[in-house]
Amino acid sequence: MLKRIKTDEVKLGMFLHKMEGSWFSHPFWRSRMLLDDPDQLEELRASKVEWVQIDTARGIGPASETTPTPRSFQPAEKDVNERLFGRTSAQGVTIMRRHPARPAAAPQSFDPLSKDRLPLQAEMAHASKLARKASRAMRKVFDDARLGKAIKFNRLQPMIEEISSSVQRNPHAFMAVTRLKNSSEYLYMHSLSVCALMISLAQQLRLRPEQIQEAGLAGLLMDVGMGHVPQETWDKGAPLTPEEWQVIKSHTTLAHEFLTLGGEMPETVLDVCLHHHERMDGSGYPHGLVGEEISLFSRMAAICDTYDAMTSDRVHRQGQDPADALLNIDQAHMLYDPEIFAAFQQAVGIYPIGSLVRLRNHRLAIVIDQNPDDLTLPKVRPFYSLRTRTFENAPDIDLSRCFGSDQIVSRETPAAWEIADWPAVSAKLLAQEN
């Protein structure tokens, strides 16, 4: 049964059927969901949504709600009464037979280590919870690093396994979630993004399972030395002074020294922390290594780190479109390993998930899935008509199966169309059921 209640009456355990108001003002990517996370409840109450509809058949109802009394039957309905409720007394009063209530079917528990592939919108729900939990864990890792506390490998391994499982269930969902960065949590979410990219790239390179885990751990920890760099320095909009630049560059050696003290980290992880800013032409730091002097994992990390930094919004600049970031990395071919970059591009796609494109039929669309046989023909979700200048809910289009009836005519930038907070809007579009 659907009930309309004020947002401040919502509590954990309720099933949200609809949030009233503009879709773009909603705090979540799905409009229908079981509210089982305290963080989600806080987000909803802090949003501009004033009224919601809840489904009491799929979740709890308001506290004031009472169980409806069954209607009484007349003696003429004796036979029906006896079949449904029990026998009837001489006075014609139905004597109810008390049956034990049927227990509600227990919801199927989700295994966070499951590798079974899921559609993008289904995995987004799991990825969202995982990202929130992992971000809190990474905040503690950075805090411990500032205080000089050793980081225990065995405490991070379960997180790596969950992120790896999410990437295997759907390689793009976790990345879509972690693109929602703000300045206060950029370092933590950047670490999670690079972790997921390293795992995806390692899978594309067909590395061994233990190498895939180490690649993810390296991506997670490689910037832990930034915890010792003042935020106003690494997030400065103006050009850095020579002194500030030296402070920034020190994060590689700081991370390496700090993680070495713990005595538990694999050597591959320590190497990535030290050398992920090395470049193939020798222009990187801290040692100016050239070509294959740089380890495989550090060459992988250089690409993953650069790509995520380019596509992320920061205080002083807006993130690039994913496709533009790939183009810029490709043009800087002297800096990055070309074979690894080719594998990376295969992993994220020529039109990466979340890219904004313009279609021949005069609509804007977001790329929602890849076609592994032809990366130029992804699956897209149209959402804005350029003719009417209005948002629309149109069917998804698989460009590999539409036989030329539609196609991508150009990449677009959210800024050109004045779409504010594109990372949040794109995440909602990706998770939208269609």
Instruction: Look at 8 and 79; give whichever has higher pLDDT.
Output: 8
What pLDDT is attached to residue 294?
A: 98
Residue 50: band (very low, low, confident or very high) from pLDDT cuts 50, 70, 90: confident
Burial of 9 (0-12, 13-18, 19+ CB in 10 A): middle
Instruction: Look at 44 and 409; give whichever has higher pLDDT.
Output: 409
pLDDT of residue 17 exceeding 50, the answer is: yes
Cα–Cα distances in Å, from 105 out to 33, 34, 54, 58?
A: 18, 15, 19, 11
How many CB atoms are closer than 10 A to CB 225?
Answer: 24
Amino acid at 270: L
pLDDT of residue 351 exceeding 50, the answer is: yes
Most confident stretch, 14-23, 33-42, 82-91, 216-225: 216-225
Q: Which residues contact 339 (CB under 8 A, 6 or more apart)?
A: none
What pLDDT is attached to residue 162?
A: 95
Mean pLDDT of the chain: 82
Phi, psi for residue 19 in degrees, rounded to 5 = -110, 120
Rounded distance between C-alpha atoms, residue 31 and residue 121, angstroms:
12
Ordered structural domains, the chain, with CATH: 2-55 (no CATH), 120-348 (1.10.3210.10), 356-431 (no CATH)
Q: CA triplet 205, 207, 208: central angle to 5 degrees?
A: 160
pLDDT of residue 37 exceeding 80, the answer is: no
Burial of 250 (0-12, 13-18, 19+ CB in 10 A): middle
Residue 72: band (very low, low, confident or very high) from pLDDT cuts 50, 70, 90: very low
pTM: 0.74
pLDDT of residue 100 exceeding 90, the answer is: no
Name the percent of the chain lying above pLDDT 70: 85
Phi, psi for residue 279 in degrees, rounded to 5 = -130, 150
Cα–Cα distances in Å, from 151 out to 224, 342, 404?
A: 10, 34, 54
Q: Which residues pair with 357 in a beta bridge?
A: 365, 411
Q: What is the pLDDT of residues 181-193, one digit of tens each?
A: 666 688 889 999 9
Q: Are 214 and 297 in contact (CB under 8 A)?
A: yes
For the ranges 41-55, 166-180, 249-263, the lowest mean pLDDT is seen at 41-55
